């Protein structure tokens, strides 16, 4: 059965969403904020995410809200995303344009709880057919188009080799955690079967250079004797 992650600070609404999904046999996990969600989603693998845009992290300064938005998108990756939009669209809504573009569906407050359930079930029904079609991966400002092998940062785009794209995809999926060379080779084997351990260093170096040329910063960190990871901003 599917696991659904809910990020909702309104206790009554969160309880109602969990109840209606639990009654249908879904497993739900819930966080009251984006901060808590970051910790929760590290422990539990979810199949779909529901996000209420009225989050305290989005309500502060615009640059801080942008950082939280990028962090959230990196956390969600390519999982189906249902947004709950405020009844009145104000500044918070305007600051979440990336989330809106990324979302698979949205529902506006106030809404019927059964309509919410149906929206979730419709989206989940499409997962098996789309399992092999995940195309975009996100980490902070990085957007990876795995199909076209394009990395984009701040509106600037660069073409990656097949191996570079596979490495970046693996690192993004780890969301800042270290990946050993052995694990990296195993995970990219399907995309780049000819890649060997001795060449990983060269491919990673080329990828690091390309990302630096786009952003002016070193996204890829080499942990000597351990492996690679993406730096947190």
pLDDT digits (tens, 9 = 90+) for 141-200: 899 998 889 999 988 999 999 899 999 998 988 878 888 888 888 878 766 766 666 778
Classify domain 135-230 at the CATH class level: mainly alpha
CA-CA-CA-CA torsion sign (64, 70, 74, 78): positive
Name the least confident of 30-34, 121-125, 194-198, 208-212.
194-198
Which sequence spans correspond to the domains of the chain?
3-132, 135-230
Q: Is the pLDDT of residue 8 over 80?
A: yes
Q: Which residues contact 104 (CB under 8 A, 6 or more apart)?
A: 80, 81, 82, 123
Q: What pLDDT is stored for residue 89 in this prediction? A: 61
Domains 3-132 and 135-230 are alike in CATH topology: no
CA distance 215 to 141: 9
Strand partners, 228: 179, 222
Domain spanning 3-132 has what CATH number? 3.40.50.2300
List, in sequence order, the alpha helices (H) in 178-224. 181-188, 197-215
**92 CA to centre of own chain:** 20
**Residues 191, 162: contact at Cβ < 8 Å?**
yes
How far, in Å, are 11, 36, 138, 173, 212 from residue 189 at the CA level?
Answer: 45, 34, 21, 15, 25
Strands 48-52 and 3-7: parallel
Strands 81-85 and 105-108: parallel
pTM: 0.56
- 121 phi and psi, to 5 degrees? -65, -40
More confident position, 35 or 75 = 35
Instruction: Work out the pLDDT band at 85, boundaries 50, 70, 90.
Output: confident
Helices 113-124 and 11-22: crossing angle in degrees, nearest 10, is 50
Q: Is the pLDDT of residue 81 over 80?
A: yes
């Amino acid at each position: 059965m599917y696991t659904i992650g809910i990020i909702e600070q309104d206790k009554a609404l969160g309880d109602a969403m969990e109840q209606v999904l639990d009654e249908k046999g879904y497993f739900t996990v819930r966080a009251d904020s984006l901060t808590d969600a970051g910790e929760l989603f590290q422990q539990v693998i979810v199949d779909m995410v529901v996000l209420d845009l009225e989050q305290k992290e989005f309500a502060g300064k615009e640059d801080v809200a942008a950082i939280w938005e990028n962090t959230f998108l990196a956390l969600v990756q390519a999982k189906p995303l249902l947004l709950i939009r405020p009844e009145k669209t104000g500044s918070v809504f305007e600051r979440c344009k990336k989330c809106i573009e990324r979302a698979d569906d949205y529902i506006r407050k106030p809404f019927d709880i059964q309509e919410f359930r149906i929206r979730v079930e419709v989206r989940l029904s499409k997962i098996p057919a789309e399992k092999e079609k995940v195309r975009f991966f996100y980490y902070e400002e990085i957007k990876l188009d795995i199909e076209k092998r394009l990395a984009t940062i701040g509106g600037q785009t660069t073409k990656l080799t097949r191996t570079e794209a596979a490495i970046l995809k693996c690192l993004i999926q780890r969301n800042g955690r270290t990946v050993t060379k052995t694990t990296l080779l195993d995970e990219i084997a399907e995309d780049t079967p000819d890649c060997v351990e001795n060449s990983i260093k060269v491919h990673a170096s080329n990828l690091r250079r390309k990302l630096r040329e786009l952003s002016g910063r070193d996204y890829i960190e080499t942990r000597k004797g351990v492996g690679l990871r993406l730096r947190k901003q």
